[in-house]
């Protein structure tokens, strides 16, 4: 999918539409105010999953899925925490393994533990 998207963007540029990004490019970092969003690809691109803050604790292998229907487990590449809560993501279920905290209202274009997160909770 990444190669297809790049090809479409290149085609758009090739046609001379320099000032207007293609719809796929324009949707990068799409995330409603107050939500935390994770993306399958880097730079806020690829399929998205949104979560409306709170005290929920999630293991991603429990059926949590992107809009495209695939599992979040071991696939998150970028995070836009547009919520009012700091969120902790961990590489193992039940908040084990390596964890990093993503502050409220922060964007991370490429998470350090790329495609390894398996659980999350607010902190
Ligand atoms: Ca994992």
Q: Please list the pLDDT of the chain residue by residue as tens digits (123 residues).
A: 455 454 444 444 444 444 444 444 448 999 999 999 999 999 999 999 999 866 678 999 999 999 999 999 999 999 999 999 999 999 999 999 999 999 999 999 999 999 999 999 988
Ligand 1 centroid from CA 48, angstroms: 18
CA distance 89 to 85: 13
pLDDT at 10: 44
**pTM of this prediction?**
0.78
Residue 95: helix, strand or coil by DSSP? helix
CA distance 76 to 81: 13
Ligand 1 centroid from CA 60, angstroms: 9
**Cβ atoms of residues 56 and 121 within 8 Å:** yes
Ligand 1 centroid from CA 34, angstroms: 26
pLDDT at 32: 94
CA distance 69 to 36: 18
CATH of domain 31-122: 2.60.20.10
Token digits of residue 39: 């993306």
pLDDT at 59: 95
Residue ranges of domains in the chain: 1-27, 31-122
Nearest to 82 by CA among 37, 24, 40, 120: 37
């Amino acid at each position: 999918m990444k190669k297809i998207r790049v090809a479409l963007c290149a085609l758009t540029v090739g046609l001379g539409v320099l000032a207007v990004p293609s719809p796929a490019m324009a949707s990068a970092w799409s995330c409603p105010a107050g939500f935390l969003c994770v993306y399958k690809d880097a730079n806020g691109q690829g399929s998205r999953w949104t979560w409306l803050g709170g005290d929920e604790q999630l293991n991603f292998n429990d059926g949590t899925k992107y809009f495209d229907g695939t599992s979040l487990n071991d696939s998150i590449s970028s995070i836009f925490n547009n919520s009012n809560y700091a969120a902790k993501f961990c590489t193992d279920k039940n908040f084990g393994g390596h964890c990093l905290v993503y502050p409220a209202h922060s964007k991370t274009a490429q998470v350090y533990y790329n495609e390894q997160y398996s659980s999350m909770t607010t902190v």
